[in-house]
Amino acid sequence: MQKRALAIHDISCIGRCSLTVCLPILSAVGIETVVLPTAVLSTQTGGMTGFTFHDLTSEMTPITDHWKALGQTFDVIYSGYLGSLAQAKLVEEIIHDFKKERSLVVVDPVMADNGEYYSLMTPEFTDEMRSLCKNADIITPNLTEAAFLLDRPYYPHPSEKEVEELLRGLAALGAKKVVITGVSFEGNSLGAAAYDSETGEISYAFTDRVNAIFHGTGDVFGSSLVASIMSGKKLSEAIRIAMDFTFRAIKRTLAAGTDLRFGVQFELELPYLMRELGVL
Ligand code: PXL
């Protein structure tokens, strides 16, 4: 049976993040991907001025009411960037209405990076995201979002002990599995830390650190993580595959010298992901 995902993110028309990343990545590994756009923007917002933003909150309930009438369900529900505070509650309702007993719920509490909120995000999103995270099986905050969710100070280079406190603190919010991205203990490596609260296992996956801001890589990582988990990989394997896939796209982008605000060149790395996940 083909797996079916519901992806709840914005459409940044240009910028390779959110749905324009999630759709191709999940499709490439054979997962049917249904979309529920939270907002439409001309570009992603990082390092950008003059972008347009259109909130789609008022469309969401009419869309999902129609799906309910059609009796739709999903094997995985994956949410990310939200267009309004009210959408967090709507996503909770969607999870309740459309998940099956064995469906996977992945929440990326997209709000902030490098110690700061994204330009359209405000501290009020933290409370809403915290309560949305309770409904998830896996959450994937970056280091900044992890600190904000736990009301702790943000340290760009935390100790291993601090990262493990963050992992356990976040699991106590309700999700059984926690993945923190953007973890770097020393200056020259960057990676993801994962905690499975049911087995107690903590694992890490690192790659070389490149000193630049790569917009959209949280979504490239998150989408390839979802693809890996849905293909049967354990959490520790899934973070390794998702890190490698994301880093390959970063290296390709650096070699091409393109404007980093337009995202990373993940497209020609899709065969790598497909091979890793056994579909090629
Ligand atoms: O990748 C996170 C993200 C998603 N959507 C929009 C963004 C960002 C990060 O800046 O601006 C619109």
pLDDT in tens, 102-155: 999 999 999 999 999 999 999 999 999 999 999 999 999 999 999 999 999 999
How far is ligand 1, taken at its centre, from the CA of residue 40, in Å?
11
Share of the chain above pLDDT 90, in %: 99
Q: Does the predicted model carry a pTM greater than 0.85?
A: yes
CA distance 173 to 77: 19
Strand duo 177-183 + 138-139: pairing? parallel
Residue with CA closest to ligand 1 atom 1: 216
Tell me the average pLDDT across 154-177.
97
pLDDT in tens, 4-35: 999 999 999 999 999 999 999 999 999 999 99
Angle at Cα 253 formed by Cα 252 and Cα 254, nearest 5°?
95
The pLDDT value recorded for residue 201 is: 98
Pick from 10, 25, 108, 214 the residue to mutate for probing ligand 1's pocket: most ligand atoms within 8 Å of its CB.
10
Tell me the average pLDDT across 186-194.
91
pLDDT in tens, 70-85: 999 999 999 999 999 9
Tell me the average pLDDT across 179-208.
95
Decide whether any atom of ligand 1 lies within 6 Å of the 182 Cβ: no
Tell me the average pLDDT across 211-218.
96
